[in-house]
A and B are shown apart, each in its own frame.
Chain A
């Protein structure tokens, strides 16, 4: 009799265990189906903007640029990559500054733009200034919109340092193919209203 009782208890334990396992499977399964459906709905329905998309990033602005004598409209990022595809160099800096002048306007009158093949170029500016001029792989531009045109500042380093110290720079980087390995262009920029007393 005791043997029969033990077997019944075992059977009960097995049935309860199986039901708990079944319940857990159903709950976990339902949760997973719900999560996957939710992420799919979210991915396919999310509107991220309209025509003004990316207006705060100078690299996503459209500029007129000539490649092989053919003038075409392209993103500033493409022009930056084209001019520095063999490594960041001072040689193409004036040409790039000319392109930056196209995007400075009354709405966004100040543009501070620093790029290099070393990370965080705006933070390294002070160190670069302590040396005898900035190294050739370190390019900085500051433009201000005045009387209907973009003007380069003669207080370049001082102004860029002010924007850097006020933590107004945004950072990004681009990985270029370079032979067997790869190289980077690191960009720090500020694009918007000017700080007061620009020439102070």
Chain B
């Protein structure tokens, strides 16, 4: 008796599942078509935008390299000059600050004294935290965050650069 009842329920469930399964396949089919359509359009649009995207990437890459090279030069000049090294660093940086947008908050951090340059075992250690490089072309916008740590010897020669 119980067995017959369970079999009946199973048949009923199967019948009930049929329209739902058909609908599911239909939804999957439509979604697949939409995805294919999207991929086709995406491929063609990326060709138009690739130049802008490449330009944004190149600018951010260069800006990070610039900040590393500039910090190195400023520190070297500050170490070799008499007086307080941190004040020297700020003073030299002031002459290079032309308000370039690509260089993010680099000169702002130095202007506000948000960096450390201290005597270490090897000579001097420069630390600037939470820097960013940014670039924007049309709808493409990129910002890269990083920290900069550079070790110098007592004469201002670079020992190690960390990022």
Which A149-200 residues sit within 8 Å CB-CB of chain B? 171-177, 182, 186
Given A78-B96, A171-B55, A174-B102, verify A46-B69 contact (CB < 8 Å). Answer: no
CA–CA, A67 and B94, complex, Å: 13
**Could you tell me the distance in whole angstroms from the C-beta of A77 to the nearest C-beta in chain B?**
6
Q: Does B72 contact A (CB under 8 A)?
A: yes
Binding stretch for chain A, among B39-47, B112-120, B153-161: B153-161
Q: Does B66 contact A (CB under 8 A)?
A: yes
Q: Does A82 contact B (CB under 8 A)?
A: yes
Q: Does A51 contact B (CB under 8 A)?
A: yes
Q: Which residues of chain B have C-beta atoms less than 8 A from A78's C-beta?
A: 70, 96, 98
Q: List 25 A-B contacts (CB under 8 A).
A: A43-B163, A46-B162, A46-B163, A50-B158, A50-B159, A51-B158, A53-B65, A53-B72, A53-B158, A53-B161, A57-B62, A60-B66, A62-B73, A73-B73, A74-B95, A78-B70, A119-B55, A172-B59, A173-B59, A173-B102, A174-B63, A176-B99, A176-B100, A177-B100, A177-B101
Which A60-115 residues sit within 8 Å CB-CB of chain B? 60, 62, 67, 72-75, 77-78, 81-82, 85
Q: Interface on A for B, CB 8 Å cutoff?
A: 43-51, 53-54, 57, 59-60, 62, 67, 72-75, 77-78, 81-82, 85, 119-120, 171-177, 182, 186
Contact A57 B159 (CB under 8 A): no
Q: Does B68 contact A (CB under 8 A)?
A: yes
Give B68's nearest chain A residue, CB to CB.
Answer: A53
Q: Does B51 contact A (CB under 8 A)?
A: yes
Contact A176 B98 (CB under 8 A): yes
Contact B58 A57 (CB under 8 A): no
CA–CA, A54 and B161, complex, Å: 12
CA–CA, A73 and B77, complex, Å: 9
Interface size on B (CB < 8 Å)?
Answer: 34
Q: Identify which of B66, B101, B146 contacts A77 (C-beta below 8 A).
A: B66
Q: Which residues of chain B have C-beta atoms less than 8 A from A73's C-beta?
A: 73, 77
**Could you tell me the distance in whole angstroms from the C-beta of A47 to the nearest C-beta in chain B?**
6
The 7 closest A-B pairs by CB, nearest first: A172-B62, A175-B101, A60-B69, A51-B158, A177-B99, A175-B102, A173-B59
Q: Which residues of chain B have C-beta atoms less than 8 A from A182's C-beta?
A: 101
Q: Which residues of chain A have C-beta atoms less than 8 A from B146's C-beta?
A: 43
Q: Which residues of chain A have C-beta atoms less than 8 A from B162's C-beta?
A: 44-48
Contact A75 B70 (CB under 8 A): yes
CA–CA, A73 and B68, complex, Å: 16
Contact B69 A48 (CB under 8 A): no
**Could you tell me the distance in whole angstroms from the C-beta of A171 to the nearest C-beta in chain B?**
5
Q: Identify which of A43, A50, A59 contacts B161 (C-beta below 8 A).
A: A50
Contact A174 B161 (CB under 8 A): no
Q: Identify which of A75, A171, A173 contacts B69 (C-beta below 8 A).
A: A75
Given A48-B163, A119-B51, A120-B51, verify A171-B101 contact (CB < 8 Å). Answer: no
